[in-house]
Structure 1
Amino acid sequence: MAAFAGRKRQRQKRGAAEQTTEPIVVVAALFAFMMAALGGSSRYDAMQLAILLPIACLAAGYGLLKSWDNDWRELRTPLIVLLLWTGLCVVQLIPLPPDLWRALSGRGPMTLVADAIGDRNWRPLSMVPWRTQHALWMMAVPLSTLFVWAALGRKSMRFAIVTIIAIALASALLGILQASYGESSALHYYKYSDPRQPVGLFANPNHAAIFGAASMILIAGFARMAPRPQPSWVFPSLGVIYFTLLMFQLINGSRGGLALTALALGCSGMLFVIEKPRSRRQRGGTKLSNLLRSHRFSIAAPLVLISVVLLFLLYLADRMPALQRLSAAGPLDDLRFRVTPILVRMAGDFFPWGSGFGSFEDVFYAYETNEVLIPSYLNQAHDDWLQVVIEGGLPAAALLIAGMIWIARTLIRLWQSGREGRIAALCGAGITTVLILGSGFDYPLRTPLFQMVAILLLGILAHLPATLRDRQAGEVSYSHRASAVTEPAMEDGTP
């Protein structure tokens, strides 16, 4: 009776604990939904931000309140980098004495104007302060995501993976509908978006394609690493979602996205080639025969076959806009390549303190040459690595390098932790490579939706080493118990 009462009290405690975590799960789900619905544009003047930013601030406060006493060791480095980045935005808005401000690099034209009108006012480091204020407010999105992740506790991993896959599927389905209904469709709900291309939940087709490629790798990695057994519908559903994303990638129209899709397919194939640790009941036979009989082959083979057939049909039907754009204009004719020398010169002129976060659009007018004058304009540099240096200078570059070092060290730790860790490391390296290359020809991480997804991916990466250790420890303890049960007894009856 005492033992039964003890177990009953434990069940009641677990039920109470689960009930206390329900509100944060609801908040996290609503926050992710609003980000997916309203956070696909990087423009500062998108009217959706009037709703999104207050929601992000409220979610940040609630998440911080719920996660204040949690263990932050795994998320310590991402938290420090985000807080320092926020502090750098604040520093750029502090007014400086006139002489100190004039000594900053890149302020020559503004100094001439100030001398001409006799202006001796104190000015901040940022050359466009109101845009830097907006950048400061936008830090609420990654911070709120990190706080909500920490508040979710043990449910954070499953929530993050399911959320990213669900958003990827919704974006792909919406993009396919946009392609079906044409330019006159109201499904392009951002004011500044190309109605001729399917963009999904984003305003920019490149951002949608980069997100789709990263999601394809995540799905493949999850299919390999998901604990067994799973419900019978899980893996077929993952295959359908993967194929839907692939179909959207092929009709998206982004040339860079098409290249990243090929990278995602290659990385997905490598994930299914790497062997996991052998189980206790592993069947005999060669590695090839085991592979052909495994569930991995039953998932991968139809996907590869359908993908090849779809590629061939789309090519014959001339329905791959990215290939059409490649044949219509060479890469050197693209504006992104033509402005690269100007961007490099801007980075050198404003080094080491930068021009201020968010100031690129206005500062670029002073550097624009006749060769790059077109009816449209550059609101971003289309090379996020250079833009970070232009706007944030050496401090921003140092924070970026620190974050990349942390990611690399975590991936190395995963790779050294065994075969399952190598699968996780390859998946993480593939997604990181997609984001690095994508940021080299566009600016996906400047959209609120992509910022939320990036923080969720960082949370997964930070949590994976401990998760794999716990899983391996559980398997070892189970194998010890199983061997103790099956070991034959000695003649005297003792085990």
Structure 2
Amino acid sequence: MSFPGREPAVEILRLADLPLGWRPLSLDPGATWRALLELLPAVALFAATAAASSRQRGQLALAVILFAAASVLLEAAQLIGVGWQADPAHRLWGTGFFSNRNHQAAFLALAVVLVAFAGPARSKHSSSARAGMNLSSPARAALIILFSAGVLGTGSRAGLVLLALALASSVLAFAGWRRRTLVTGLAGLLALVSILLLSSAGQKVIARFATAETDLRFTFWSDALGALLEYWPVGSGLGTFPTVLPRFEPLDHVTTAFPNNAHNDWLELVMEAGVLGAIALTAVLVLLCRSAWQLWRGRGDALQTAAFLGLGLLLVHSVVDYPLRMTALSALAGLLAGLLTGHSEIAPFPASECAFEPKRAPNGLVAPRRASIGVYAVLPASLLLLATAWSFYLTDQAASSAKPSAAAPLSLPWVADGRAAEQKALAALREGDASRLEASAREAIDQAPNRPLPPALLALAFRADDQAAVNLMGWAGSAGWREPVTNLWLVDYGLRTGNLQLAVLRSDAALRLGTEREKVSEVLRRLAKEPQARALIVDRLAVDPPWRGHFLSAGWGTGEDLSLLTSLQEKGQLKRSEAAAAVRRLGEAERWRDAWQAAVALGLRPNEASFAALEAPDDERTPFEWRVIDLPGTTAELQEDGTLSLEADAGTAGAVLTRRLALAPGQYAIDVDDLGRESEFLRWTAQCTEGQQADLVPEGTSQLNVPANCSVISLELRWTGRQLSRSDVKLNAPRIRRISS
């Protein structure tokens, strides 16, 4: 038997003729080992902080505040373009010491909470006096404003929500529960929030909420949920999200950007750790609820209150991001957990400000709790470590008939995870060494049968028509759409066997990843000549893949075959800009007859004489639309009522307005409603674009004579130069009316 989600690995081992022995439960043991190591800073800070004295814990909190202030200063330098920034993808926003703006925002929101509770001593027994947390109210207010501005500078939507929660908690820290001070604090909070939101930075962040519906997080969550259901109840192993996600990622979700995390730590932990992860999360929530009850009863100091609120902010942020998977923030979470679980020696507020009177020792201090919260914190920490060990040491019997043997000895799974053998196989592939390629690929599969590349490399060691290669590539393809070697092989296989759907789908995947873009695009262009394949390509283009623009702009419309574009037009899937670009390329090549036929076929109505196209973007103009000519001494402006205002200095002569027309031979009238008296200084001229230079509009008339063999003409409106002063005329869009054939 095998645990849920392990069936592909079992079949790949069989196809590779490898022994079916006991295997690690984690689908990527190396990643699980790294996940365990990444817990060490958080665990170390938790243990050190929980055992520290009150003064030492206060100094640690002040160090966090100072580090946050330095991060804001670096963020300010980044925003003006002079500061170092780890990730250029966030260059338009501030990230401070982080590579991600969301994590900078979360850090600063935590700093707001710490500053809010770093107040001066309220009595000789106050924790702030003994812990060194003795910031004056003006200093705290200045730091809170600084950190709030820093959150806005990140442009993070989640950061704005966290900031609102942090500022709300800061009111309680400043005002306590007394009604008068609480009302004053809320009024000050409202004023600060209003100023922040009305600022330009605040408006930019608010504007980003309008794009929340298109956020990729929703696609990550749906894919991760599919993986959770597949691997439940044992999970896929901590740290395996990047390894297992491609198997559950629909083709429409594939782009060159790959999510290394689910952007929901709650969901990702349960997906990876299974039922133990769910138990660990439940234990954490229970302990936090217990801590909240203790703090409400007054059995805690200011640092513990700040730590509780800070951990709450991190858990809220974890719903839409992965702050606890970043070493800096996970270490900070360990520090906050240590602050929360340390012994409470003194009360943060006078007894009158607490909900309940704390129990005091004879010396006036709050009596230490019999059992520190730190004792109970061992439970979730142990569960998390057990979940990691679960991924390491529990083994999965790959097949019901398989038993451990000398051919498949148990080994430490993190010693080799297949990556080194994978690189050796790739080197052999480049060198054309088939025997070494086969041996290295088998070694990689034996070490990591869940990785998608090794079975594809083994398939390449066989002939393309070998059934073993076909089977291996089939299972490699079931691992997702992101492996370039698999995609290209399956495109070729689909073409050889007539499986057009396979060829088109894998071509789509290859183009989404930018793999051999020109070659794969040429394959699709050839396939588009066949009706069945063309229908499949139209279906893929209809979902607006990222390669659509390049594909439709590179070559389409330059020949007689416009079948793909017309198919898109018939389904209502052709964008006007795409049709205009195809026609424009024909016009630029001076193939006016083809351009005219393409414009008609693609629904562009080239003879429509509207002035609206004058304001259209360049990429939406066709060779058949009006164009204003930049003539010195003249101006042209499109009015709100649709008329065109033309102005010219005295004596100015030359063309001011032009367009191309595709007309059948015959006589036409150019009808224009003049809205000015000086239109007598304007005249129409027309010439055939195909070699004939004679003016087709007789002098002093508005009659257009189109001869045979002149399918496209260039029509111009010219100033005659006879005006004695500056002239102004308004024109409605001309109408081309046929008089006779």
Using structure 2 for the length normalisation, give the TM-score.
Answer: 0.43
Matched, 1:204 2:100: yes
The whole-number CA distance in structure 1 between the counterparts of 2:192 and 2:40 is: 42
Distance in 2 (CA, whole Å) between partners of 1:351 and 1:210 is 31
More strand by share: 2
Q: 1:379 to 1:470 in 2, by over 3 A?
A: same
Q: 1:275 aligns to what SS in structure 2?
A: coil
The whole-number CA distance in structure 1 between the counterparts of 2:164 and 2:91 is 25
SS in 2 for 1:354: coil
Residue of structure 1 equivalent to 2:195: 309
Indicate conservation of the 8 Å contact 2:238/2:272, yes or no: yes
1:460 alignment partner, SS class: helix
Q: Answer whether contact 1:205 1:253 (CA < 8 A) is retained.
A: yes
In 2 relative to 1, CA 153–454 (structure 1 residues): closer, same or farther, beyond 3 Å? same
Query: Residue 255 of structure 2 aligns to a residue in which SS?
Result: coil
Q: 1:438 aligns with which of 285, 307, 317?
A: 317
Alpha-carbon shift at residue 393 of structure 1 (Å): 0.9
Q: Distance in 2 between matches of 1:200 and 1:442?
A: 18
Aligned to 2:347: 468
After superposition, residues 374-393 of structure 1 pair within 5 angstroms as 374-393=255-274
Partner of 2:2: 103
CA separation in 2, counterparts of 1:385 and 1:232? 36
How far 1:225 sits from its partner (Å)? 7.5
**Pairing 1:178-217 to 2, within 5 Å after superposition:** 178-181=78-81, 185=82, 187-188=84-85, 190-191=86-87, 194-217=90-113
Q: Are residues 1:452 and 2:331 paired?
A: yes
Q: Deviations over 1:375-420 (max 9, x none)?
A: 21111111100100111111122122212212211221121237x7
Unaligned residue ranges in structure 1 (runs of 5+): 1-101, 277-286, 480-495
* Secondary structure of the corresponding residue to residue 171 of structure 2: helix
Deviation at 1:478, TM superposition (A): 6.1
Distance across 2 between alignment mates of 1:397 and 1:362: 21
Q: Could you tell me which amino acid in structure 2 is paired with residue 116 of structure 1?
A: L
* Contact 2:77–2:83 (8 Å) recurs in 1: no
Q: Greater CA radius of gyration, 1 or 2?
A: 2
1:447–1:233 distance in 2 versus 1, CA, 3 Å: closer
Distance 1:233 1:467 in 2: 18
Counterpart secondary structure, 2:4: coil
Task: Tell me which amino acid in the other structure corresponds to 2:93.
Answer: Q
- What's 1:167 paired with? 67
Give the distance between the partners of 1:186 and 1:408, measured in 2 at CA. 42
Equivalent-residue separation in structure 2 for 1:257 and 1:373 (angstroms) = 27
Secondary structure of the corresponding residue to residue 319 of structure 2: helix
Distance, in Å, in 1 between the alignment partners of 2:64 and 2:149 is 18
Long gaps (5+) in structure 2: 351-357, 366-741
Go from structure 1 to structure 2 and tell me whether the alpha carbon gap of 1:430 and 1:453 turns closer, same or farther (over 3 Å shift).
same
Matched AA of 1:350: Y
Instruction: Kindly provide the amino acid, as one letter, of the partner of residue 309 in structure 1.
Output: I
Deviations 1:227-264 (A, max 9, x none): 37789863322222111100011121111111221222
Cα deviation for residue 425 of structure 1 reads 7.6
More helix by share: 1
Deviations 1:316-344 (A, max 9, x none): x46643223223x2x22111012322211
Q: Scaled by the length of structure 1, what TM-score is found?
A: 0.63
Aligned residues of 1:251 and 1:320 also touching (Cα < 8 A): no
What SS does the corresponding residue of 2:53 show, helix, strand or coil? helix
**CA distance in structure 2 between the aligned counterparts of 1:367 and 1:346, rounded to whole angstroms:** 6
Displacement, 1:474? Answer: 7.5
The aligned runs of 1:300-379 (5 Å cut-off) are 305=191, 308-312=194-198, 314=199, 317=200, 320-327=203-210, 329=211, 331-379=212-260
Identity of aligned residues (%): 26
Amino acid corresponding to residue 334 of structure 2 in structure 1: I
Distance 1:193 1:132 in 2: 28
2:24 and 2:87 map into 1 onto residues whose CA distance is: 32
Aligned length: 351
Provide the rounded CA distance (Å) in 2 between the counterparts of 1:154 and 1:319: 38
- Find the counterpart in structure 1 of residue 150 from structure 2: 248
Q: Deviations over 1:152-206 (max 9, x none)?
A: 434332123112212222222221221122xxx5511x35752222111111111
Partner SS state of residue 375, structure 1: coil
Give the whole-Å Cα distance in 1 for the aligned partners of 2:5 and 2:329.
31
Q: Deviations over 1:334-388 (max 9, x none)?
A: 1101232221121111111111111100111111112211221111111100100
* Residues 1:464 and 1:303: Cα distance change in structure 2 (over 3 Å): farther
Instruction: Give, as a single letter, the amino acid of the residue that structure 1 aligns with 2:27.
Output: M
**Conservation of the 8 A alpha-carbon contact between 2:93 and 2:154:** yes
- CA shift at 1:151, angstroms? 5.3
Contact preservation (8 Å) 2:121, 2:134: no
RMSD: 3.3
Distance 1:274 1:244, change over 3 A: same
For 1:266 and 1:218, the matched residues in 2 are separated by 13
2:512 maps to none
Structure 1 match to 2:278: 397
